[in-house]
Amino acid sequence: MIAFGPLVTQTVQAPAQAASQLLALRIPREGVWTAFALVQVLNALVFTLQTIVTPLPSELMQFISPLQHLIANSVLQLTLTASITAIGRWMNGQGGFLAVLSCQVWINFVQILALVGLIFLTIVTPFLAGILGYALAIFALYVSAQFISQVHQLGSAWRGFGVLVLALLTVVAAIAFVGRAFLPGT
């Protein structure tokens, strides 16, 4: 049984240790995929809550439903996980797809908890919530680099950050390539 509270705290205070602890659990394939589905649904619910608290422009809302957000975010997360796995292995890393996915699922879960807090803070003080949102995004990069370093046994958070940057660039290039295929007149 996973003690969620202490692992969340450890993720914030000592991400490398939290990653090691999470990987030591050796969660079975079915558990990782179930957790992935659950986190994606939670993410769509948080997206819906966020659009209620701070509505998007009506022109944009007609294009983004919670279901579309769920599908797009799931595809994006799987693409990012595959990219982190491939680039990490290219950099002599040891992590496999399921290990990387389990780390991604956990990081997303912790981010969802933080986003719910930010949504409620937005109701009270939008300015402070905006500043904390930027700080949270920067801290999420740090945590992700630590987790990537641990899952691939890279020995350095900087190498983990390098894998993350290369993976993000790969995903952006893939989105640009696939998106261009759907543009009219190309």
Q: What is d(CA 115, CA 139) in angstroms, rounded to the nearest whole number?
A: 13
Domains: count for the chain? 1
Decide if 46 is inside a domain: yes
Decide if 146 is inside a domain: yes
- Give residue 182's pLDDT band: very low, low, confident or very high (50, 70, 90): low
**Domain span including residue 65:** 12-181
pTM of the model: 0.88
Decide if 6 is inside a domain: no
Decide if 163 is inside a domain: yes
Decide if 168 is inside a domain: yes
Q: What is d(CA 119, CA 140) in angstroms, rounded to the nearest whole number?
A: 17
Q: What is d(CA 105, CA 30) in angstroms, rounded to the nearest whole number?
A: 13
Closest by CA to 48, choosing from 102, 112, 107, is 112
pLDDT digits (tens, 9 = 90+) for 45-79: 998 888 888 876 776 666 677 888 899 899 999 99
